[in-house]
């Protein structure tokens, strides 16, 4: 039996028969099935095995800005997107509020202490958090002490509409930072 070995077989006058083509395709199947067990052919498409690891310096196409799919993100894509994640979509000093593109709202201000419990009403400071209150931080300030000493301030209640802070009598001002959506 003659096997087709390349273009020279045509030049030497060998005929390509149906049996010869079957032998060629059988040999190709055997050869390609042992190339790499990391690959599997499925429904006409090439898919990678789940235990595949990338080595060397793999490359990929850089995705378009704002792409939020599960596609591979290149270093160039990530470097371009990181600043967009933290650039405020709105900053209003008069309302003491910053809104980030991801929907987070950061409220901040200094208020005067109004007794053992001071209520900070977000609607009078800027506006309520429309959906949820996530976290808040407070610091009390004693302006009568040298260089405005920080003193204890404790959050008693935090909601979408208000922040209630407990302080001791030495506190004159309360600085707060509240985060929500």
pTM over 0.85: no
Instruction: Give the domain range for residue 26.
Output: 1-53
Mean pLDDT for the chain overall: 76
Q: What is the CATH number of the domain that holds 171?
A: 2.60.40.3940
Cα distances from 74 to residues 9, 51, 62, in angstroms, run: 47, 21, 6
CB 99 within 8 A of CB 181: no
Residue whose pair of structure tokens reads 């260089």 in the numeric block: 147
13-26: pLDDT as tens digits: 555 555 655 666 55
148-163: pLDDT as tens digits: 566 789 999 999 999 9
For the segment 59-84, the average pLDDT, to the nearest whole number, is 83
Q: What integer pLDDT is reported at residue 46 of this predicted model?
A: 61
Residue where a domain terminates, one of 44, 70, 86? 86
* 69 and 47 share one domain: no
For the segment 28-35, the average pLDDT, to the nearest whole number, is 51
């Amino acid at each position: 039996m003659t096997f087709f070995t390349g273009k020279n077989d045509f030049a030497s006058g060998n005929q390509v028969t149906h049996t010869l083509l079957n032998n060629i395709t059988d040999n190709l199947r055997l050869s390609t099935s042992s190339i790499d067990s990391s690959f599997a052919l499925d429904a006409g498409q090439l898919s990678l095995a789940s235990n595949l690891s990338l080595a060397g310096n793999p490359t990929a196409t850089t995705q378009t800005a704002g792409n939020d799919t599960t596609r591979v993100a290149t270093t160039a894509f990530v470097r371009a997107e990181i600043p967009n994640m933290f650039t405020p979509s709105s900053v209003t000093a008069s309302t003491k509020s910053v809104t980030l593109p991801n929907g987070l709202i950061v409220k901040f201000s200094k208020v005067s202490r109004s007794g053992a419990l001071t209520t900070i009403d977000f609607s009078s400071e800027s506006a309520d958090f429309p959906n949820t209150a996530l976290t808040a931080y407070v610091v009390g300030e004693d302006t009568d002490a040298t260089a405005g000493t920080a003193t204890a301030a404790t959050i008693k209640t935090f909601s979408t509409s208000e922040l209630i802070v407990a302080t001791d009598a030495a506190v004159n001002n309360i600085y707060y930072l509240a985060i929500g959506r």
